[in-house]
Amino acid sequence: MEAGGIAAHGLLADGRSAALVDRSGSVNWWCPERFDAPSVFCRLLDITGGHWWIRPAEHFEVRRSYLPDTLVLRTVFRTEHGEVSLTDGLLLEAGARGHDIGRRSPGVLVRVVEGLSGTVPMVLSYSPRFEYGRRSAYLVWRDGKLLATSGPTTLAMTAPMPLTVQGAEATARFTVGAGQRDAFVLAYRPTFHETAPHPVDPTDPLGDTVEGWRSWAAHHDYQGHYPELVRRNALVLQGLTYAPSGAVVAAATTSLPEEIGGDRNYDYRYAWLRDFSLTLRALWVAACPTEANRLFGWVASAVGRIDGQPVPIMFGVEGERDLTERRIETLRGYADSTPVWVGNEAWRQRQLDVPGEVLDAALRLREYLDPMHPEVRDLLRSLADQAVTSWREPDAGMWEARDAARHYLSSKVFCWVALDRAVRFGDRLGDAEDLARWSAARDEARETILREGWNPQVGAYTGAFGSDQLDASVLVMPIVGFLPATDERMRATIRLVEQRLSRGGLVRRWAGDPAAFTLCSFWLVQCLALAGERDRAAAMFENVTGVANDLGLLAEQVDPHTGEQLGNFPQAFSHIGLIIAAWELTTAPSGAVPTGGGS
């Protein structure tokens, strides 16, 4: 990998998949069929994993940005002999606008090279590797296209100049003069399905895609602090959305490590119900909640009937349940951090916070769920019913511990949230008997949490009942309205988390966590704002957002000492946290006491 690491990359998206392009113009990740499909480029995880780069053949400096209100990336290379731009995008379906973008995207990656000044020598290297680097293909010219086929996958490249083909790699050297434009088009298609080639405008191949993204952004009118940040982060969340179903993936990648050389490398290209619910809250803040009914319909369909069984916590992007892990032995991993995984065993876990996450998002978006679809109503009722008994049980917690189950405090709090939001829905969700049952369980859970969650020796609410370990997940307590941030014990907890787990506002989940967890950092910002410490909260917010890369993208974690971003990228959690924290800084007056996360 080139210098700059994980954060060197920009995100391209088309509503079905994502590609990552680094500062040197190399596409190092693309799974064209859908987010969690096998890759055709995965140099991100191994130098031999496949790539497609276009860059100057001499020393260059780089500046880059997204075209306004799009996920179309423009990189400008400055060399001794002139400047050249490289504009990259995954095509949206022609003519798709607003909330229809991405639902039928064609799987086409377009790269446009344009001379800005002087004459710049360029070099191209194209080397696809299929199925996570396991399979290469001979490249052959046919009907004016460079074809690469391996099993079920075919890539067809159209190039404006001859490419030299040698085995599984194609290369070219060419020059670009001022005013010259050359477009390269790489189209994916299933090998054994006849599909018509996607039409591409030769004069402006990315123009319609730019208009598609801008039409989506035009639907959203956030009124609050940091409007440009919120707008950009909402666009990233849309880029992580699988448009045909509405599922939101946790991240675009698999197996990027939480610690260099470590083995906590997981596949995040799936839809967690927790992430889905938080995303809906963030999109509500960003003034783009209009697809709530469709998205809740997808959740109801994916979850199905619970019938007393634990709530499934995650799915494939089209609702697949079985996400069994398998190790990819052919890849060495990012910076030799093994193993590389496809699949995620967390799908088997019991995580009791999920019903509360879903019901909280539903209550916040209740006006958009009117009339409520019967399947959605049945799902929400079932989640509340399950919380009546499950709040007493241990679980794996929101950090998905893979050892013993525990009575995690944040899980108990979200069980309380599930019951509280169900009661507040009133007769739209249940009859008088339901409401009485939910209310009684809510009050019992609250009393137990307050009694068992507080550790007087530590002087704080700790991560689990009977534990003496601080855990940043307890910061959700004021955020969801369980306790005001001004409560004496809550303030003491916030203070200890900041003192012991935070460095410059970058918050680790627990002592010994190798890096700060970006979402927890935004939770601390929210807690300070809710406690009336608006100025400190704002300063911390700006410090945390400052760790984003030059395109505003955030990974899951960040090394608080070096600022290096770690973990899967870009991470929905991190961008969600930024949006919601910006809104808290907008709305929480000095000394405010929250009225509850669902209001």
Scanning the structure block, which residue is given the tokens 């001979």? 138
Scanning the structure block, which residue is given the tokens 């009914």? 293
Residue from 297, 13, 587, 182 nearest 29 by CA: 13
Half-sphere exposure of 229 (CA within 13 A, CB side): 22
DSSP character at residue 366: G
Identical fold for domains 6-196+203-217 and 222-248+272-288+453-594, yes or no, is no
Residue 135: strand pairing partners: 130
Q: Amino acid identity, residue 194?
A: E
pLDDT given for residue 190 in this prediction: 86
Give the separation between CA 125 and CA 157, rounded to whole angstroms: 13
pLDDT given for residue 483 in this prediction: 98
pLDDT given for residue 1 in this prediction: 38
Could you tell me the CA-to-CA distances from 379 to 152, 209, 316 in Å, in that order?
37, 36, 19
Per DSSP, the residues of 276-318 read: HHHHHHHHHHTT--TTHHHHHHHHHHHH---TTSPPP-EE-TT
Could you tell me the CA-to-CA distances from 112 to 42, 74, 459 in Å, in that order?
22, 9, 59
User: If 0-12 CB within 10 Å is exposed, 13-18 middle and 19+ buried, where does residue 561 land?
Assistant: exposed
The total number of residues shown for the chain amounts to: 599
pLDDT digits (tens, 9 = 90+) for 202-213: 789 999 999 999
Question: Are 29 and 11 spatial neighbours (Cβ–Cβ below 8 Å)?
Answer: no
Per DSSP, the residues of 5-31 read: -GGG-EEEE-SS-EEEE-TTSEEEEE-
The token duo for 559 is 């090394």
pLDDT given for residue 460 in this prediction: 98
Scanning the structure block, which residue is given the tokens 């499934």? 312
Residue from 317, 320, 271, 333 nearest 132 by CA: 333
Question: Are 243 and 15 spatial neighbours (Cβ–Cβ below 8 Å)?
Answer: yes
Question: Are 418 and 387 spatial neighbours (Cβ–Cβ below 8 Å)?
Answer: yes
Count each helix (H run) and each strand (E run) in the chain, helices first: 13, 27
DSSP character at residue 263: S
Q: Which residues of the chain have pLDDT under 70?
A: 1-4, 194-197, 289-293, 308, 589-599
SS3 category, 248:
strand
pLDDT given for residue 291 in this prediction: 67
Give the separation between CA 165 and CA 573, rounded to whole angstroms: 42
Overall fold of domain 6-196+203-217:
Beta-galactosidase; Chain A, domain 5 (2.70.98)
Q: Amino acid identity, residue 489?
A: R
CATH code for the part of the protein at 222-248+272-288+453-594:
1.50.10.10
Give the separation between CA 521 and CA 555, rounded to whole angstroms: 13
The token duo for 104 is 């039928």
User: If 0-12 CB within 10 Å is exposed, 13-18 middle and 19+ buried, where does residue 391 land?
Assistant: buried
Distance of CA 402 to the CA centre of its chain: 22
pLDDT digits (tens, 9 = 90+) for 376-396: 899 999 999 999 999 999 999
Residue from 151, 126, 152 nearest 141 by CA: 126
Give the separation between CA 420 and CA 442, rounded to whole angstroms: 6
**Ordered alpha helix ranges (H), 146-226:** 207-217
Give the separation between CA 110 and CA 105, rounded to whole angstroms: 13
CB neighbours of residue 496 within 10 Å: 18
pLDDT given for residue 591 in this prediction: 44
**pTM, full prediction:** 0.94
Residues in CB range of 526: below 8 A, 6 or more apart: 475, 478, 479, 537, 580, 581, 584
Domain boundaries, the chain: 6-196+203-217, 222-248+272-288+453-594
Q: CA torsion 300→303→307→309, rounded to 10°? A: -150
Scanning the structure block, which residue is given the tokens 């096998």? 38
Q: CA torsion 379→383→388→392, rounded to 10°? A: 160
Question: Are 288 and 219 spatial neighbours (Cβ–Cβ below 8 Å)?
Answer: yes
Distance of CA 164 to the CA centre of its chain: 38
Q: Amino acid identity, residue 520?
A: C
Give the separation between CA 234 and CA 554, rounded to whole angstroms: 13
